[in-house]
Structure 1
């Protein structure tokens, strides 16, 4: 960690706890700041606030009172999930108090090089692939951000020998000032998080902040198959390294005659790669671009791609039971993610889907259901998904109470060679606390089924 004095004796407000708030408050306290933490959860039910108080940090709990800013704070470090419409945040901006997220702190104190990964889909898989490839290439990576440990906490321990591989959300990137990754990646841009950003333009602009401060000495890896994305980052000063799954690029990473090619150099055949789907090919190309820039050899890349079976809950292979392959894609909490998962498989699919009803229909999923031979549905959206299945001409549609019941039924209605895919196209909150819980229950049910066969 850099020995900086930027925050010494400054009054700083950390707004919102959770993991990022705890890490930010702890870091700033160590850097000599006068830190106040403000969290909505009452103090009596807030173990994190109690722990910070014991360290000598001022803690105010129960609400976010705007008058708190009258105490003369010089900086606000905001939890990414708190919107800028929050009265306290709005007042801070009116008072021209800088409002940042903890990723900015991580950048300022990190001695390590930073690889930042953002995009609508594929962030976690790309981040994990890069980490694994760097590890195999002996480049001493540390994983951080939305995946793994909070970035500022990792930055406290990182040295110049490390590479920080950081997954970044649009919420985090709205709160940057000097943040400048040496290598930035934007996997793709689709419409998302409009409840927070209000418009796709605002959302895309937040994503583009990843390259805002990059210079000619930095690199921007970008999806060349999205013209909209190329236009979005046309302002960037970084050296652009494009990737494409749809056309061959002489200067970039692409696919030629069934092989991944980096600036004309063949790396690996697609047939050797375990991770299924064109959407994962995008993630693989982006990851290869990043690690090649850092000198990772092809052997390390190949070893990862011939063994990596997917990130947990993201088209993750669980097991083969008598010729039926079971995949956990519980992270597919929207239609777009389920579309991508369905496109990944050429064999017949038994699709397990359903969940929280957010008021939307599923007609746009219909064209992607052509390879689905049976639908097993659960949750609030089961009947809406049944309508979509009927539009797609699916004859075998079943309703069950939950994911656990769906697994043995999926085996019963499937045949050797089929794919059983949990890809709900919905959030989990009608039945499960998180998509991770939903995915874990699916995996447990698959293992239980396998033991009984």
Structure 2
């Protein structure tokens, strides 16, 4: 299992825990690497009960600031992990940028650290079906070397410690995640786009974006 000593004793803020595996996966990853982890989410502990309970039952040492955000969290932590649903122009993200903090998303971190080939699949409709079929076809040829992860319900970051150069990871990537990959000039080794329709325009400024 690979370790990532560059994160030991780093102060990491998970901005947006959510109820899916992405936020929980990031908490688990950074705690396992020896980082000092804080979680902040606008939702209350009751609203996030399922995820918070999993963290507490695991015995991991995590600080929670739920139901509100504290500006000090974005100024005092070394690394900010942004939930994909949070837009780049968010007040707290802009605060962290001005403070010259490192801002990542699960997907950007995965692309930077993964040692293997990545197949990325995105689009407005049909992502999950296409991702699953691609995974099954590759698995037929390459067996257990092929990993399925991403926006399909399985945190990509959970796979990271066990990956080698022999693996192929098939990722479903949302438009939100694509935005941060574009900004960081990161790209999969092979990509497939299903289609593009008007959707999520409450997050994207327009269809062209």
Task: State the TM-score, normalizing by the size of structure 2.
Answer: 0.84
Q: Give the structure 2 partner of residue 165 of structure 1.
A: 170
CA distance in 1, matches of 2:185, 2:25: 19
C-alpha contact (below 8 Å) 2:3/2:161 kept by paired residues: no
Q: Which residue of 1 aligns with 2:201?
A: 194
Query: Equivalent residue for 2:55?
Result: 52
Deviation at 1:79, TM superposition (A): 1.0
- 4+ runs of 1 displaced by more than 4 Å? none
**Following superposition of structure 1 onto structure 2, how do residues 45-444 of structure 1 map, counting pairs within 5 Å?**
46-53=49-56, 54-70=59-75, 72-139=76-143, 140-176=145-181, 177=184, 179-202=186-209
CA distance in 2: counterparts of 1:98 and 1:199, whole angstroms: 27
Per-residue Cα deviation, 1:371-401 (whole angstroms, up to 9, x for no partner): xxxxxxxxxxxxxxxxxxxxxxxxxxxxxxx
Where 1:184 maps in the other structure, the secondary structure is strand
Summarize deviations over 1:136-178 as a string: whole Å, max 9, x none: 1134311111114111113233333321100001111223336
Deviation at 1:10, TM superposition (A): 1.4
The question of whether the paired residues in 2 share the 8 Å contact of 1:42 and 1:62 is answered with yes
2:139 aligns to what SS in structure 1?
Answer: helix
Q: CA deviation at 1:31?
A: 1.6
The match for 2:15 is 15
Instruction: Measure the CA separation in 1 of the matches of 2:96 and 2:10.
Output: 16
User: RCO higher in 1 or 2 (8 Å CA, sep ≥ 6)?
Assistant: 2
Task: Find the structure with the greater CA-based Rg.
Answer: 1
Q: Distance in 2 between matches of 1:112 and 1:103?
A: 14
**Whole-angstrom distance in 2 between the partners of 1:190 and 1:42:** 33
Mapped partners of 1:125, 1:43: distance in 2: 33
- TM-score after normalising by structure 1: 0.41
1:44 deviates by 4.9
Contact 2:74 2:80 in 1 (8 A): no
- Change in Cα spacing, 1:193 to 1:127, as seen in structure 2 (3 Å) is same
